[in-house]
Amino acid sequence: MTDSPRSIAEIDRALPSGEDQERFSGYGLMGMPFASGHYLAFRHLPASSVGEGYDSVWHRDPAGVWVIYSSVSPEASCARYFGSAIEDTRVEHISVTWTGPSAFTVEVRNRLVWDLELGRSAATAAMTGLGRMLPAALWRRPAVLSLMSRVAGPALGVGRVRLAGTSPNGQWFRANPRMLWTVENSRARIDGIDIGPPGPLAEQARLGDFWLPQHGMFVVGETYFEQYDAARHQAARPGSPRPNI
């Protein structure tokens, strides 16, 4: 597997099939804990069935307060599924700049600069091989995702993993990570202040059934969510009335 993360990331992403569900395709840093108690995650999803593609950055401060920054409105981004579990959602300019075959920088204007360098371990290579070979039909089976979740956590050293479950806003989700890389180096500055070295949290973070990894993990793949139903699901914006989407 000689493809670099950059060469894979720059391929045009096709929207996966599935007219009865909301679908996304792209890449991202599933999560990165810092020894200081901060937590960061990043999504670059150019293919979306609910609107234009978008970038988002998730930040949890040491007090446990979550904010999601997105390049599009909350109703068309991650807050559509996670908004009820976070303190605030903000529309901001977000840029992703690849500085090498395995290195890139994420910036949220006037707020955050995050440098990342990726690598490959035996476990991520094995999981990538499996992800590339597994037929699409098997990715839709709960039993397969459950088994992969149980294996992935210990194999990757990231704590608990769930590839299927219920989001904080009430929609079910299903994640299909096709290719994985580990994070070798990471440095982040928030409001100009370095937030310190990466390191696992004392207690693994989660939002609904989605557990955030205890070690940085870069993923390319697809994500599926239940279609939004205003009668059953919570609003995209924290504390706002339910949107009519």
> pLDDT (tens digit, 9 = 90+) per residue, 192-222?
999 999 999 999 999 999 999 999 999 999 9
Q: Which two tokens stand for residue 106?
A: 């994420």
State how far the alpha carbon of 193 is from the alpha carbons of 71, 100, 112, 114, 170, in Å: 23, 24, 9, 11, 36
What are the boundaries of each domain within the chain? 5-226
- Region of 26 (left: φ > 0; alpha: ψ -120 to 50; beta: rest) is left
Q: Which residue has the higher pLDDT, 242 or 26?
A: 26
Query: Where does residue 232 rank: exposed (0-12), middle (13-18), buried (19+ CB within 10 A)?
Result: exposed
What would the pLDDT profile of 68-110 be if each residue is shown by its tens digit? 999 999 999 999 999 999 999 999 999 999 999 999 999 999 8
Q: Hey, CA dihedral for 48, 218, 175, 1, is it positive or negative?
A: positive
Alpha carbon 168 to chain centroid distance? Answer: 15
Element housing 38 (H / E)? none
Confidence of residue 238 (pLDDT cuts 50, 70, 90): low
**DSSP state letter for 214:** S
Q: Which two tokens stand for residue 74?
A: 């909350």
N-terminal to C-terminal alpha carbon distance within the chain = 42
**What amino acid occupies position 1?**
M
182 in Cβ contact with 155 (< 8 Å): no
3-state secondary structure 148-210: HHHHHHHHHCCCCCCCEEECCCCCEEEEEEEEEEEEEEEEEEECCEECCCECCCCCCCEECCE
89 in Cβ contact with 74 (< 8 Å): yes
> Residue 230 pLDDT more than 50?
yes
What would the pLDDT profile of 44-59 be if each residue is shown by its tens digit? 999 999 999 999 999 9
